[in-house]
Structure 1
Amino acid sequence: MDLSKPLQGWRKCLKMMSCSLGRVCVRCVGFHNVDIIGTKAHKDIAPVIVAAPHSSFFDALAIFWSGLPFFVSREENKEIPFIGKCIQFAQAIHVKREDRNDRQKTKDEINRRCQSNDPWEQFLIFPEGTTSNRKALMTFKPGGFLPGKTIQPLLIKYKNHHDTVSWTWDQPHGFMSCFLWTCCQWNNRVELHFLDPYTPSEEERNDPRLFAENVRQVMATALGVPLCDMTFEDIKEMYSTKTKNPGEKEEKKD
C-alpha cells in the first residue's frame, strides 16, 4: 500500500467500513456505552487530535470513534494477526521507538502529511508515548505539535467500577489478563470528551515543546489530575533496571 498519498475512491469507502467494523469489535468485548461529550472538530479547523491519558490498548476505540484518522503505531504492531493489516490499512505511521533516526523520520512524515494539500484525514496521537495508570499526565512528546496546527484535545475516561483496562509497566498481569477480565464485565463504560480546539500562539508554533506543555496543562486541568514529568524513556529505563539481577547491576557499575 502506498503510504505517500491518502486513500481515495473505493479504498476510502473500504476504510470507512473497517472503521464501522472496529466499533462493532469494541462493543463485542463489552464497551456497549461509549459516551461522546463535546463535538469533534472538522479537519479544516483542527487537523490534529491529541488523546490522553493513554492507559490501555483499549484506547484504540478513540480512533474508531474519531473516524479512523491516521496515527503513529509501534513497528511491532504490524505483525499482529489481522489487527496489523487493519493498522496498515489506516495508513498508520510505524515507528521503532528505540531508533533515534526512525523517530526523526516519523516526525518528518507527521509534518509532511499535516502540511500537505492532499486530502489526508485528521492525525490522532497519544502524546505520552506509553501507557500509565491515568493518575497523572506524563510528559507529552512534541511530534504531534511540530506542524504548529490547531489541535483538539480528546480526554479518555473509563467509568468501570473495577479497573481491568489499565495496561502498565509495573503490574503482575499482562495483555491477556487485561483482555479477559474486561470481557468478563457485563458492561464497560468509557467517555470520550472532545475539548475546544486549541490554536497555538506564534511563540508556541516556534516552540513545539512549549505548545505541547501548554496543551498538557489544559488537559490535566480538565481531567483533575496532576502533571508527571516522566517520559517513556525514563519509565523504560526504570523498569528494565528492575528486571536485572544484582550481579548485573554491580558489573555495570564496575
Structure 2
Amino acid sequence: MIHLRLKFKQNSLCYLLLLGMSWKVPGKMLTLYLHGFCDCSGIIERAGGSMEEEIGELRNSFALSDAFYFYKKGLESIVDDQVTQRFSSEELASWNLLTRTNQNFRYISLRLTIIWVLGVFVRYCILFPLRITLAIIGLSWLVIGTTLVGFLPENSVKTWLSELVHLTCYRICARGLSATIRYYNKENKPQKGGICVANHTTPIDVVILANDGCYAMVGQIHGGLMGVIQRSMVRSCPHVWFERSEMKDRHAVTSRLRAHVAAKTKLPILIFPEGTCINNTSVMMFKKGSFEIGGTIYPVAIKYDPRFGDAFWNSGKYNMVSYLLRMMTSWAIVVNVWYLPPMTLQDGEDAAHFASRVKSAIAHQGGLLDLDWDGGLKRGKVKDSFKEEQQKMYSSIIVGQNGISSCSQSTKVE
C-alpha cells in the first residue's frame, strides 16, 4: 500500500483531493512523502526544481515509474494554477472600503459600516461627477485639438503643437482618474525612432505613460466614438492603425512598423507585447513579433498600488463602460513607472530570447513574477507545441540516464 503523507490545512482542497487515495503494489510497502507540497495556510508551496532534478530525486528514492512527478505537478495545477489566477483581481491583505460584494464578508461593527457609507457618498456623489467632467473635457480637447493641428503643413511647428495637444489631453484624463504617478530613471525615457515595451495591466497604461511623453500608438481601427478619436489623432501625429485584415498579416504589420522605426524623427512606438491585461502581479510571455522589428528597445515597468483602486481590467467579466465606472469610483489610481536602460539584440540571439530577456528585466524592476506562460491562454487552450516540448524534455532525460547506465555497465565488464 502506498500512503500519501501531506502537510495541509484541514478541509482544504488538498484534503478533499487526496483523502483515501491509495494504490496496491504487490510485495512492497512504499510511502510517498511530498514535503512542502502545501503549507499550513493551504496554499501550494512548490519546490521550484527542474524536471531533471525532481525526477532524479524520485529515482533515487523509489523503484517506481516517473509518473509520480507528473502526478504531483497535476495536483499542484489543480489546487493552485499559475495561469488562470493571473486573470482575476489580486487579493488584498486588508479591505480598502471599496466594495461589499465579497461573499466572505461578515459584519464587523457599526463604525466601519458608517465609514463605508460615507466613503460611498464621497466617491459617487463628489468625486465621480468631477471625474466624468474632466474626462469629457480631455477627450473633447483631443478630438478638436488634433483635428485643427491636422490642417497645418508638415513642419516643426505642427510637431510641437501635436505633442502639446496630446500631453494636455492625457494629463486632463489622468486627473479624471485621480492618478498619482511617480516616474523613476527619466534619463532612460524612450527616444524617437525606438520602441517602448511595457507590461500590460489596463487600457489606461497608455494614459499613464503618455503623461510623461508622447508615443505613436499601434492598434486596430475601430468604429464609433473610438474611430472618431483615432481618425483625429492620426491627422496630427503618425500613429499606426491597422485594418482588421492587416492585423492578421504578420508581415504587413512588421513592414509598417519597421518603416516607422527607420524614420528617426517619428515618435517612439508604444507596444504591450503580452497582448492582454495581466492582474498587476506578474509578467507573462512577450510575443516575439515586437522584437523582430529591429531598433532599440526601451523597457518600462508599471506597477499599480492596489490599496487605492484595482486597475486591472478583467475583460471577461466587465465591459469597457463598467470597467471605467469602477475606475472612476475608486479612491485613486496610484502607480509607479520605471524607465529601464535601453536594450538591443545581441549577437547570436534570436527574437524569442531577446523578448524573454526584456521581460525578465521588467519583472525584476517592478517586483512582478516572471512567468513563461502565454497570455493567450486567457481565451484559448495550451498549444500542442508546448506539450510536445515537455514530452521531448522527458524523453531526453530517459535516454540520457539509460545511456549513462549502459556506459557504467560496459565499464564494469571491462
**Greater helix share, 1 or 2?**
2
Could you tell me which residue of structure 1 aligns to residue 175 of structure 2? 27
Q: How far apart are the structure 2 equivalents of 1:98 and 1:227?
A: 33
Q: Distance in 1 between matches of 2:322 and 2:312?
A: 11
The reply to whether residue 211 of structure 1 matches residue 354 of structure 2 is yes
Residue 159 of structure 1 is matched in structure 2 by 305
**C-alpha distance in structure 1 between counterparts of 2:278 and 2:183, whole Å:** 22
- Distance change (3 Å), C-alpha of 1:136 and 1:45: same
Taking every aligned residue pair, what percent have the same amino acid on both sides? Answer: 22
1:234 aligns to what?
Answer: 377
TM-score by length of 2: 0.49
> How far is the alpha carbon of 1:220 from its aligned partner?
1.6
TM-score scaled to structure 1, two decimals? 0.76
1:58 Cα deviation from its structure 2 partner: 1.1
Whether the aligned pair in 1 keeps the contact of 2:302 and 2:366 (CA below 8 Å) is: no
Does 2:267 correspond to 1:132?
A: no
1:82-97 correspondence to structure 2 within 5 Å:
82-88=228-234, 89-95=236-242
**What does residue range 52-201 of structure 1 map to in structure 2 within 5 Å?**
52=199, 54-76=200-222, 80=226, 82-88=228-234, 89-95=236-242, 101-116=248-263, 118-171=264-317, 173-201=318-346
The amino acid across from 1:219 in the alignment is I
Query: What is aligned with 1:244?
Result: none
Contact 1:115 1:147 in 2 (8 A): no
Where relative contact order (Cα < 8 A, 6+ residues apart) is larger, the structure is 1
Structure 2 residue aligned with 1:224: 367
Larger Rg: 2
- Report the Cα offset of residue 36 of structure 1: 0.7
Give the C-alpha shift of residue 157 in structure 1: 1.3
Q: Is the 8 A contact 1:137 1:227 kept in 2?
A: yes
- Cα 1:30–1:62 change in 2 (3 A) is closer
Question: Residue type of the partner of 1:231?
Answer: D
Report the CA distance shift for 1:17/1:141 in structure 2 as closer, same or farther (over 3 A).
Answer: same
Measured after TM superposition, the shift of residue 56 of structure 1 is 0.9
Per-residue Cα deviation, 1:159-205 (whole angstroms, up to 9, x for no partner) = 2415432112443x33222212221234321111111222331223x
| Length, aligned pairs only | 227
1:203 counterpart SS class: coil
C-alpha contact (below 8 Å) 1:150/1:199 kept by paired residues: yes
SS at match of 1:156: strand
Q: Aligned in 2, Cα 1:25/1:184: closer, same or farther, shift over 3 Å?
A: same
- Which structure 1 segments of 5+ residues have no match? 2-6, 239-254
Aligned alpha-carbon RMSD (Å): 2.8
Higher mean displacement: 211-220 or 226-235: 226-235
Deviation at 1:155, TM superposition (A): 0.9
Alpha carbons of structure 1 residues 77 and 145: separation in structure 2 relative to 1, 3 Å: farther
Tell me how far apart the structure 2 counterparts of residues 38 and 185 of structure 1 sit (CA, whole Å).
29
After superposing the two structures, state which structure 1 stretch, 209-218 or 146-155, moved more. Answer: 146-155
Please tell me whether the aligned partners of residues 194 and 295 of structure 2 are also in contact (alpha carbons under 8 angstroms): yes
